[in-house]
Homo-oligomer: A and B are copies of this chain.
Amino acid sequence: MNDSPHLTFDLDKAGVSRGYLVVPKGADCEALSLPVCSISKGEGPRLLITGGCHGNELEGPIVARRLIKWLPEAQTCGRTIIVPELNPLALQAWTRNTPVDGKNLNRVFPGRADGSVTERIADAVSRVLLPMADTVFDLHSFSPTWDFPPAVITHPIADAELMAKTLKIAEAFKLPVTLLWEYYDTPGMFDLTAHEQGKVFICTEFGGGTVGAEDLAIYEAGVRNAFIALGLVQGEAKHPIFQRQESSQTLETLSSDILTSPARGIFEPRCSILDEVKQGDLIGLLHPMDSLSAGSIDICAPTTSIVCAIRSGLHVEADEEIVYLARPLKL
């Protein structure tokens, strides 16, 4: 019996190989076997694609499964390792966090070999898979109660060279938005561990609201564009069509660009994602729910900006985030 995390197959074998990443058993549950597909075509870039970090974000697992269908034929060099479902326990339970230990996989990296199951998954990924790749695409989804464009998100990285390299690959997806998000990374995020190992880490955040056939097609086209940019696949990158347009923009969101609800009530959005707003423009209304005579509260743009994400017309609590504004990134 092997008590260390390991792969059940030889990733270096030429062609397509399938097997499992084994996460050893612990006090809280039995060993897990995460399905892994590897496509090896000799020398070249080494890419790791992960989906299903959170069990309620399904664009990633769906798109990863699609890649497994066409990539074996399309890939001409290098190696791609695909793990569609990083956290099968959360996926089976349809929850963001792992039900066994209540932990968020994206907050426990690099994990612990002797930890609870979520920490053991992170440990297996950090020690077995991450060293085998130079670049990671981690496929996430935005919240279903927000409207959000297909986007690649990256956070500021202290290492200027890695930051530039990351932004370049992020933009190669040619998605409607590449977002540099000033977000104070919480300890335990996957990207921090990847950065520590010197890897380019790309987080796609798709969806928000309905996950439809068109969203999935955009998602897949973006990933294909990145494959082409990396040189793993031959072909011409194409702008996916979003809101009937072919366009990409690189934006920046600062912490001060996030607007919160002034009270508990119903949020009424008055603008749409990618709308440009000027200072004072109405972004939405907050309706108190107790009386028709209690006036609604206007929520206005504090500065000229682009609406990057906006809550659906739904209940919100006081101080809940309702809008992310952004502006063109100037480096």
Contacts and interface: CB of A to CB of B under 8 A. Distances in A.
B213 A210 contact: no
Given A211-B314, A244-B244, A216 B147 contact: no
Contact of A65 (B244, B292, B314): B292
A288 to B, nearest CB: 11
B212 A287 contact: no
Given A58-B314, A209-B209, A216 B269 contact: yes
B269 A312 contact: no
A210 B65 contact: no
Nearest to A37: B292
Contacts of A211: 269, 312-314
A76 interface: no
Interface in A108-153: 144-147
Given A62-B268, A216-B269, A146 B210 contact: yes
A313 B58 contact: yes
Interface in A34-73: 35, 37, 58-59, 61-62, 65, 68
Interface in A127-182: 144-147
A91 interface: yes
B18 A61 contact: no
A143 to B, nearest CB: 10
A310 to B, nearest CB: 7
B213 A269 contact: yes
A314 B141 CA distance: 11
A33 to B, nearest CB: 9
A62 B143 CA distance: 22
A144 B313 CA distance: 11
A2 interface: no
A266 B84 CA distance: 12
B292 A216 contact: no
B312 A210 contact: yes
Contact of A144 (B144, B212, B269): B144
A296 interface: yes
A248 interface: no
Contacts of A315: 58, 94
B289 A213 contact: no
A257 interface: no
Considering the complex of A and B, which 9 residue pairs feature the smallest CB-CB distances, nearest first?
A209-B210, A211-B313, A35-B292, A209-B209, A211-B312, A147-B210, A94-B315, A213-B269, A210-B312
Given A62-B266, A62-B268, A216-B313, 12 more contacts: A18-B293, A59-B313, A61-B266, A62-B287, A84-B292, A146-B210, A147-B212, A208-B210, A209-B212, A211-B314, A216-B268, A216-B269
5 contacts: A35-B291, A35-B292, A144-B144, A211-B269, A212-B313
